[in-house]
Amino acid sequence: MTRLFLIGYMGSGKTKLGQAIAKELQLSFVDLDLYIEQRRFKPITELFAELGEEGFRKIEQSCLHEVAQFEDVLIATGGGAACFGNNIDFMNAAGDTIYIQLSAEELFKRLSRKKQNRPLLSKVSTEDLQTRIREMLGQREAFYRQAKYILPTGGLNKEESLTLFRQIYLQSPTSTV
For the entire predicted model, the pTM comes to: 0.88
pLDDT tens readout for residues 25-59: 999 999 999 999 999 999 998 998 899 989 999 99
Tell me the C-alpha distance between 153 and 63, whole Å.
27
Residue 101 parent element (H or E): strand 96-101
| Domain 3-162, classified CATH 3.20.20.70, yes or no | no
